[in-house]
Structure 1
Amino acid sequence: MVLASWRFLAAAFAAVLFLHGSRASDEAYPTQSYSFVRNAISAPPLSYYDYIVIGGGTAGCPLAATLSHNASVLLLERGSSPYGNRNITDLDAFGAALSDLSPSSPSQRFISEDGVINARARVLGGGSCLNAGFYSRAAPQYVRDVGWDGKLVNESYAWVERLVAFEAKIGQWQTAVRDGLLESGVVPDNGFTYDHIPGTKVGGTIFDESGHRHTAADLLEYADPKGIAVLLHASVHKILFKRKGTSRPVAHGVVFRDSTGAKHRAYLRRGPRNEIIVSSGALGSPQLLMLSGLGPKAHLQAHNISLVLDQPMVGQGMSDNPMNAVFIPSPNPVEVSLIQVVGITPFGSFIEAASGENFAGGASTKDYGMFSPKIGQLATLPPRQRTPEALAKAIEDMDRLEQAALQGGFILEKITGPKSTGHMELRSRNPNDNPSVTFNYFQDPDDLRRCVEGLSTIERVIESKAFADFKYDAMTFASLLNLTASAPVNLLPRHRNTSTSLEQYCRDSVMTIWHYHGGCQVGMVVDRDYRVLGVDALRVIDGSTFNHSPGTNPQATVMMLGRYMGVKILNERLASEAS
């Protein structure tokens, strides 16, 4: 490989990290027609239901669909429909929704206090409308540890999979990663499976063979149209409580606003089993509890929020699984692929990969995917230096690159857990504003150790015989890590011996894989049936209740949990009515 080519690839990598994507076409994608979904503008000022589910996301959609078969359900979603938006539905547009910073975007960007740029969903279907599509169940031990019924868990996964999960069909580059993992000792070869099994496997995906995304919103197909109402652009501002004398507070209604700002109220019908269920995600759920008066007393008083219950653990235990990636320029063409293969290591790191690039509309209109500054992923700068100016410079540099410079792919590692935790606080009383969240990446030294072991595994994959066709011979692992250190836009601090240690690389190049969780954890904010401690008629059912992110990718388990708890709640209701 000649020196000129080497410098070109170095500059290409350091300018920005990419995967693939395309701009949305003006051509509308065929829409899903649900008779029970409508804009919140059409909602009456006052309404009554057996269940009010706040958040039509990855958990909220299957939960509401299940409850609709024996009760009346109102599902409130602050965002829009995913149907008709090709930036959501088409694989070749991955990243476009995440890069859309408009107020109507299905993705709402936020930046943690750590400096890592992240995103939260604002669309019916939640994060399943924005993610890389990988579908994998939680480990059996995870199911046992949280106390779930294994039989119902498996039935609930199968219920989800009938509509949204498919076997990933891997190409040559993903095959090389798989074989490289096996050659590197991440064994056994588990073939294709949805199950979480140590070793290397091909997982599921929510993209079908046509590259069309299936989301949690599709699970509303299971709903009884007579038992459910779904309101879009319905932003819930507060949960309402009532109390008689010294009794516990009882949730009995919500206040929400439509897109015009008009206020609506929805109340629970009279009945001992009727409930409000919060499924607003790991940021939205603890945020809404605080806005409704459940949270740390001093913090709520500082925002002039009337206290319902002093609950200091709301917003605590926030975690985000750190992701670190290595780009490998390829001398041979690679397929466009999102996450399809995973190596589940014995030391607590998951190895995954993505590859390829796609251009739509010519070289001047490039959009990029999972490792792109357009969506906030800028591993070439330490987190706190990822300023808007730095992102703009990286995008500008990337737009000047030739297509050949982007040929290759990424191998990433994500640590399980993690053990490092942080917290969340309100910035304002507006539920549409992002709260302040700190994840404390690598605060626990064991997280850093596992990151280093994960990078060492990636090195063995890259140096394996199986991967030889997709790596330049002259490029060692050290040179791949140091590409950023020799590029003109690099701002990484220089460390001794002009090389960056793996520990420092972990800290400086950390990004999100969007698997953040916590804030309403079991045993701290909710009980094992997800009832909020200290109040009645209120549950939280979503990823905010997780102590650890389940499996390699959590979306399958979050969808399963919505179905699982829907079945449990209905069974409790039927038993109560029969007694």
Structure 2
Amino acid sequence: MGLFWVVKLLFLSLLSLNILSCFSSQGENFSKFGYPYIRRASTFSSSSSSSASSSGRQNTFDYIIVGGGTSGCPLAATLSQNFSVLLLERGGVPFSNFNVSYLKNFHISLADTSPESASQPFVSTDGVINSRARVLGGGTCINAGFYTRASTRYVASAGWDPKLVNESFPWIERQIVHWPKLAPWQKAVKDSLLEVGVSPFNGFTYDHIFGTKVGGTIFDKFGRRHTAAELLASGNPAKLNVLVHATVQKILFDTTGKKPKAVGVIFKDENGSQHQAFLSKRLSSEIIVSSGAIGSPQLLLLSGIGSKAELKRMNLSVVLANKFVGKGMSDNPMNTVFIPTKNAVEQSLIQTVGITKLGLYIEASSGFGQSSNSIHCHHGIMSAEIGQLSTIPPKQRTPKAIEEFIQNKQYLPHEAFKGGFILEKIASPLSKGHLNLTSTNIEDTPSVTFNYFSHPSDLRRCVDGIRMMEKIVRSKHFSNYAQCDDVSMEKLLNMSVKANVNLIPKHTNVTASLEQFCRDTVITIWHYHGGCNVGRVVDSDYKVLGVNGLRVIDGSTFNNSPGTNPQATVMMMGRYMGVKMLRDRLGRTAGV
């Protein structure tokens, strides 16, 4: 090792002593995974100060980020280049979780409802069961892995600097994104999309452009997932501190000035012990909430920012009245059909996408749960164990219905485990909903309403999508691949009920029937957003309106979900805003 590196390592070690003194030397860290700055929350030594306005705080940081998810990880890594950062994540680490780490276990991770699971189920008031991430790396740990950028139009509408956007996407891609080996099912869907007119073929591309394409993936050639948590490796170890199993209860404010100022947070560790962490005295120090479309508006409300009526109903003190917190919630509705095949097909998640001019996207998955002999067989993203009882209308997808299906799944006909799905997602739904607190416990998921298909435009586009899926199924390329002549229509219909999978409706020329089909079979593609929208809750720099020292940087600020799948843009947003904030403070010479 050269003298330069010896001196540099010594310097970084000395720099880190001041921050690491906040942590107990007895606690476990995650050096074995290459992340020595990740620790359990219980290792954090609470400040001796009990008041948010007290002087002599011990545990102070230039930035406190609440939520180590899709945006929080790249944001923390970037800001730590020049400033001290405390990243607080309520879940654990993904590195040794085999259900998270491998494509073949994708469906099992989503079906896991244990308290230690990386995914936390919740049921919207619409009756659609959904999942929230509860792990370092956020949604990148439990999603289908598809990586595709936002369109240039979306970037312009968000007011982002295109040059910095085009620098931030590759920063993500160099670290965790791969090109997929196209699975046979995905190739058949690709060829069929082109046959029915979703053209041109744009090849392998990250770009969001009309036509059919193959996108990137965060699964490598071995089927191993690479998540936003790995972006933390780009952080400055002398200034970056990550606590897992750290559940933030509320944000603390100094209310003595003209505007409330965020000064710290209260959080609980994995043992239930309470801790406080505070911002440093630097003028531009900030708390940044990156807890997602459910967690971010929930935390603002529990911290006293929201509708006066809502806060009064929950007996919470009002720090700042803003009636828009938790409003404008939206989820892109998804409807699917199952295509049985004679032979088992290779597992695949989203690789091919058709970006249509009808305002909908066509995607596909295949090959999950090939054996019908085990009660643990799953149907991938349509697994009933995650609530997607797709032949049962939403309001009837009860816990009892799910449990009965799990118990009976071992008796399904073997055709139910051969084949794959074609999916259609409505782009930029006009149907909007809202979020409300159900308790003052941050660990209780709020009541969420998405109002699927309440706007007629969304329903019309769904009908168009079902008709397009029928064309794909009947196309020459696809029918040659997926033919299943030895299965009678009666058997298929019976199978679809037992397996809770949808087949193409028999009469796709009857609009009213298809509208009902859309309503009855709607599920989620986990692209919910809103609740802290730009212009209503935050400004164009994602600073919370009416408050100093507080931002929200995640998908809760979106009016529409970007691209066909949002994870690329949300990660880019974390990197983008980190660089922008450093440049705003330090000029163009910021060390990024």
Alignment check: 8 A CA contact 2:340 2:418 kept: yes
Code of the residue aligned with 1:337 in structure 2: it is: S
State yes or no: 1:253 paired with 2:264.
Answer: yes
Q: Name the CA shift for 1:484/1:530 in 2 (closer, same or farther; >3 Å).
A: farther
Unmatched runs of 5 consecutive residues or more in structure 1? 1-29
Code of the residue aligned with 1:59 in structure 2: it is: S
State yes or no: 1:543 paired with 2:531.
Answer: no
- 102, 126, 131: which is aligned to 1:90? 102
| Shift in Å, 1:472 | 3.3
State yes or no: 1:189 paired with 2:190.
Answer: no
- 412, 423, 439: which is aligned to 2:434? 423
More deviation in 355-364 or 103-112? 355-364
State yes or no: 1:111 paired with 2:123.
Answer: yes
Matches of 2:422 and 2:436, distance apart in 1: 34
Q: What TM-score comes out, normalization by structure 2 length?
A: 0.88
Give the corresponding residue for 1:15.
none
RMSD: 2.6
Matches of 2:116 and 2:348, distance apart in 1: 28
Partner of 1:104, secondary structure, is coil
| Shift in Å, 1:358 | 4.1
Partner of 1:230, secondary structure, is strand
Identity of aligned residues (%): 57
Alignment check: 8 A CA contact 1:107 1:130 kept: yes
| Shift in Å, 1:474 | 6.0
State yes or no: 1:225 paired with 2:237.
Answer: yes
Q: Name the CA shift for 1:233/1:64 in 2 (closer, same or farther; >3 Å).
A: same
Partner of 1:36, secondary structure, is strand
- 519, 524, 540: which is aligned to 2:531? 519
Give the corresponding residue for 1:213.
225
Give the corresponding residue for 1:10.
none
Matches of 1:501 and 1:444, distance apart in 2: 17
| Shift in Å, 1:139 | 0.6
Alignment check: 8 A CA contact 1:236 1:254 kept: yes
Code of the residue aligned with 1:119 in structure 2: it is: S
Partner of 1:37, secondary structure, is strand
| Shift in Å, 1:261 | 1.3
Matches of 2:500 and 2:388, distance apart in 1: 14
Give the corresponding residue for 2:456.
445
Partner of 2:380, secondary structure, is coil
Q: Name the CA shift for 1:243/1:351 in 2 (closer, same or farther; >3 Å).
A: same
Alignment check: 8 A CA contact 2:342 2:415 kept: no
Alignment check: 8 A CA contact 1:329 1:470 kept: no
Q: Name the CA shift for 1:116/1:480 in 2 (closer, same or farther; >3 Å).
A: farther
Mapping 1:383-398, distance limit 5 Å: 383-398=394-409
State yes or no: 1:203 paired with 2:204.
Answer: no
State yes or no: 1:506 paired with 2:514.
Answer: no
| Shift in Å, 1:364 | 4.7
- 155, 158, 167: which is aligned to 2:179? 167
Code of the residue aligned with 1:234 in structure 2: it is: A
Give the corresponding residue for 2:92.
80
| Shift in Å, 1:507 | 0.3
| Shift in Å, 1:504 | 0.8
Q: Name the CA shift for 1:464/1:268 in 2 (closer, same or farther; >3 Å).
A: same
Matches of 2:348 and 2:500, distance apart in 1: 27
Mapping 1:104-503, distance limit 5 Å: 104-245=116-257, 247-358=258-369, 363-472=374-483, 483=493, 487=497, 501-503=513-515
Q: Name the CA shift for 1:98/1:497 in 2 (closer, same or farther; >3 Å).
A: closer
| Shift in Å, 1:576 | 11
More deviation in 283-292 or 357-366? 357-366
Give the corresponding residue for 1:8.
none
Give the corresponding residue for 2:25.
none
State yes or no: 1:65 paired with 2:68.
Answer: no
Code of the residue aligned with 2:42 in structure 1: it is: I
Count of matched residue pairs? 546
Q: Which has the higher contact order (CA 8 A, sep 6+)?
A: 1
Partner of 2:90, secondary structure, is coil
Alignment check: 8 A CA contact 1:408 1:470 kept: no
| Shift in Å, 1:426 | 0.2
Partner of 1:226, secondary structure, is coil
Partner of 2:238, secondary structure, is helix
Code of the residue aligned with 2:226 in structure 1: it is: H
| Shift in Å, 1:470 | 3.1
Deviations 1:117-153 (A, max 9, x none): 0010110000000001000000100000111001110
Partner of 1:115, secondary structure, is coil
Partner of 1:350, secondary structure, is strand
Alignment check: 8 A CA contact 1:322 1:512 kept: yes
